[in-house]
Amino acid sequence: MSQLAIRGVARTFDAVHRGTPTIALQPTTLEVATNDFITILGPSGCGKSTLLRIVAGLDTPTAGDVLLDGQTVSAPGADRGMVFQSYTLFPWLTVRENIGFGLREKRLPAAQQAETVRRFIAEVGLNGFESHYPKQLSGGMQQRVALARALANDPKILLLDEPFGALDNQTRALMQELLLSIWELHKKTVLFVTHDVDEAIFIANRCVVFSARPGRIKTELAIDLPYPRHYTLKTTPRFSELKARVTEDIRAETLKTAQMEH
């Protein structure tokens, strides 16, 4: 039984100044089970983020439906937590206040809010930074706050749009391990858009590769690597095999994109 069903979802953007409409996403179907961790890869402009925004309820499909536990998705909701690449924290709120934002909106009892915020501050390793403001934090720490804020609302699904794209390699690797540990602990369902092949294979149990625009699912690959995963996994022969296969798929589609632009 799929928790999230993406059924024939397509998106066309209207023409600007009487030009031709842009087909961002061809009809796309994907069944996502509870506790799936699916990474979505593809060349720039292939519709990855468009699909994620439709699942989040931030955009409306031109055709098709998104169902979450059998209910049609038509607007944003607390059952989906979104983390973007850009740090979308409120600059005037502290770490504690940012993480507790959704809980205040739900008007939960103050003691419950405080306990939930305390727990997630500890989980993402921000003890001692509760009273800091976003401008006082590094990029990696800001994304820890964004992740904790999304998780504090206890969503059914986490939607992550290149959340570690702006981080340096070392911080990015640590954030991947942190996210995996949280996923194993909370048994969330995750859709994760990335450009990084190593990242896509290291964290996912399934990897979906999109074609060049107009995007569609070209390849769906089960990542048959055991959990829990340690960073040394990236040096194993099986990891290298999976990386070679995905890299070849991405390369072929990126070349198509380059040819279309010339």
Give tens-digit pLDDT for 30-53.
Answer: 999 999 999 999 888 888 999 999
Q: What percent of the chain has pLDDT over 90?
A: 75
Confidence class for position 261, pLDDT limits 50, 70, 90? low
- Residue 16's pLDDT is 74
Among candidate residues 198, 209, 187, 178, the one with its CA nearest the CA of residue 242: 198
Q: What local confidence, expressed as pLDDT, does residue 105 receive?
A: 87
Is residue 228 over pLDDT 80? Answer: yes
* CA 188 and chain centroid, separation: 12
| Encoded tokens for 72 | 């049609």
| pLDDT classification of 236: cutoffs 50, 70, 90 | very high
Query: Which residue did the predictor score with more confidence, 262 or 9?
Result: 9
Lowest mean per-residue pLDDT among 106-115, 119-128, 184-193, 252-261:
252-261
Residues 6+ away with beta carbon under 8 Å from 175:
140, 143, 144, 163, 164, 167
Q: What pLDDT is attached to residue 214?
A: 83
Percent of the chain with pLDDT strictly greater than 70: 98
Q: Is it the case that residue 116 has pLDDT exceeding 70?
A: yes
Looking at residue 201, its pLDDT comes to 96
**For residue 1, what pLDDT is reported?**
58
Mean pLDDT of the chain: 91
The C-alpha atoms of residue 205 and residue 188 are separated, in whole angstroms, by 13
Single pTM value for the model: 0.92
Q: 65-109, pLDDT tens digit by residue?
A: 999 999 999 999 989 999 987 768 999 999 999 999 999 988 899
Give me the pLDDT at residue 256, please. 77
Q: Are 249 and 218 in contact (CB under 8 A)?
A: yes
For residue 234, pLDDT over 90 is answered with yes
